[in-house]
Amino acid sequence: MTETTATKFPTRVFSGIQPSGGLTLGNYLGALKRFAEKQDEGIETIYCIVDMHAITVWQDPAKLRNATRELTAAYIACGIDPERSILFNQSQVTAHAELAWIFNCVARMGWMGRMTQWKDKTAGKDAEAASLGLFAYPSLMAADILAYKATHVPVGEDQKQHLELTRDIATKFNHDYGVNFFPITEPVIEGAATRVMSLRDGSKKMSKSDPSDASRINLTDDADTIAKKLKRAVTDPEPLPETPEGLANRAEARNLVNIYAGLSGKSAAEVLGDFGGKGFGVFKPALADLAVSVLAPISAEMTRLMQDPAEIDRLLGRGADRADAIAHPILEQVYDIVGMVRSRRR
């Protein structure tokens, strides 16, 4: 077991995804594939469906339940083993909400107001009409991580600021109470395709909210659809360069090369070593074949798993029990540190 440098914390990975529906290739390469790979590193891995984060904006209850189960199916279909990892939905472990309140009292208003995603989501709108949850959810994110004293969190580039806030909250809590209780969690950003871009515009992130379905590969797409979308992806007329430096001003080409790299486990340089000097008439069919070989089985397995929602719920409940066994004692220690009377022990 490895340890962090500041204090001896066992290495523990935590990450979560919102059940907002519409999982894409970006979710797979940027998160789910890497989550599965972490299971082979001999460290504890905890993966969460963060359904409490989802309700910072209104959700249809039936759709939220379905999206939670679909995301669980995606985790498993992408290689997360509920026996090797802890897999659960956030709302079944009360320590998340309880610790978030403690952190609401540690975090500062100014910290929340500077969060880029808050500014983006309220830009040009009446911020006073947004939910308090939308403003304060970064402290819940910190609680998600620190309820398990997680030392490492796989994140995309767009989530680095939230992890920095988690580090700030942990540092302030430790300082305010004169303890070295929480680790200063480290981000884990790795891989060639941690940020997958639109198939129609290489300057924009692949997103389920894009009006054009052709802009993305959905994890529920069948083999024919995957192949058609990649073969029709926007490119330029030039052949692929010999080295990654040649992709500097070619956003669409760079995106497709990175996707190939992410799916194959190769570096961009290795991909260009195979395809440099060749046109997209050669590269796109090869990419389509690779994507179908990787993604079509995931789509099929998600469909199979979704046919038995009771089994998905059972797995989530069992994961929640395992998560609670870690988080509840940590929460009790936090209450003791803060000065809460704890005469009723579970």
Tell me which residues are annotated as active site: 121, 205, 208
* C-alpha pair distances (Å), 140 with each of 16, 96, 113, 136: 12, 7, 15, 7
SS3 assignment, position 47: strand
| Rounded Cα distance, 217 and 295, in Å | 9
| Rounded Cα distance, 55 and 68, in Å | 12
> Which amino acid belongs to residue 336?
D
Which secondary structure element, helix H or strand E, spans residue 14, and what is its range?
strand 12-17
Residue showing tokens 């972490």: 38
Alpha helices by DSSP H, the chain: 25-27, 33-38, 51-54, 61-77, 95-104, 109-113, 116-122, 132-146, 160-176, 223-231, 251-264, 268-275, 280-306, 309-338
Say how many C-beta atoms besides its own lie within 10 A of residue 322's C-beta: 16
Residue pair 291/218 in contact (Cβ under 8 Å)? The answer is no
Residue pair 158/194 in contact (Cβ under 8 Å)? The answer is no
Q: What is the SS3 assignment for 114-182?
A: CCHHHHHHHCCCCHHHCCHHHHHHHHHHHHHHHCCCCCEEECCHHHHHHHHHHHHHHHHHHHHCCCCCC
Residue 155, CB-side half-sphere exposure with 13 Å CA sphere: 18
| Rounded Cα distance, 243 and 274, in Å | 11
Four-point Cα dihedral 283, 289, 291, 295, nearest 10: 170
Structure token digits, residue 203: 């300057």
